[in-house]
Amino acid sequence: MTHAFHWLALLTRSNFEQVVFEQIAKKKIDAFLPKTKKLSRRKDRKKIIEVPLFPGYLFVKSSMDPGCQLTVLKTLGAVRFLGNDQGPIPVPETQIHSLQLLTAADCDLVTGVCSRLTQGDPVIVMEGPMAGARGEFIQYRGKGKIIIKIHLLGQYAGVEINENQVEKIPHHLS
């Protein structure tokens, strides 16, 4: 019997995201740890460092088979999969793909009024390094720039992008 594989959100111990990611990769299991760059201020210097986009979480591609999930959960620093009483809840492939495009685009990630777009409209990036990413329109920044966000884990990752690179997705297709 073949098991379908899904992306699952894995909660890790505090500051263990990279350790868990590396250990899971050694087990030949697909994992994704989205990161962003941030300015770290030290007493004597400032440095750009990479930090997890969602502190305490990473994504693992696993079947819904408890044996496969146990292999992941036995990893040092792994806590549990996000889910409910029925088990882990898969993260839609489109959200992971959008997040991979977002982090690979090396854009300035942000957390955080056009007649064509209304706040909350589903959008897709049509061109540029993030082409294919799906998200939600958040706000206008002026000078043709907008912010879109990608929902994940009750949080969001946002990016500033040119308005002309984004198209609204009709609600019946989103």
Question: Element (H or E) spanning 122, and its range?
Answer: strand 122-125
Alpha helices in 43-135 (DSSP H): 66-73, 93-104
CATH class for the domain made up of 109-168 = mainly beta
CB 149 within 8 A of CB 99: no
**Residue 17 — φ and ψ, nearest 5°?**
-55, -50
- Other beta carbons within 10 angstroms of residue 73's beta carbon come to 15
Q: What is the pLDDT of residues 73-107, one digit of tens each?
A: 999 999 999 888 888 989 989 889 888 887 777 66
Q: What is the pLDDT of residue 108?
A: 59
Average pLDDT over all residues of the chain: 82
5-91 under CATH 3.40.50.300, yes or no:
no
For the segment 120-145, what is each residue's pLDDT rounded down to a tens digit? 888 888 777 777 888 888 888 877 78
Residue % of the chain over a pLDDT of 90: 27
Q: Give the burial class of 99: count Cβ atoms within 10 A of its Cβ; 0-12 exposed, 13-18 middle, 19 or more buried.
A: buried
Domain ranges in the chain?
5-91, 109-168
CA–CA separation, 109 and 79 (whole Å): 27
**Residue, of 162 and 174, whose pLDDT is higher:** 162
- Whole-number Å distance between alpha carbons of 107 and 99: 12
CA within 13 Å, CB half, 75: 31
The single residue listed with the structure tokens 């696993």 is 62
Q: Does residue 4 have a pLDDT over 90?
A: no
User: Cα(first)–Cα(last) distance of the chain, in Å?
Assistant: 32
| pLDDT range class, residue 1, cuts 50, 70, 90 | very low
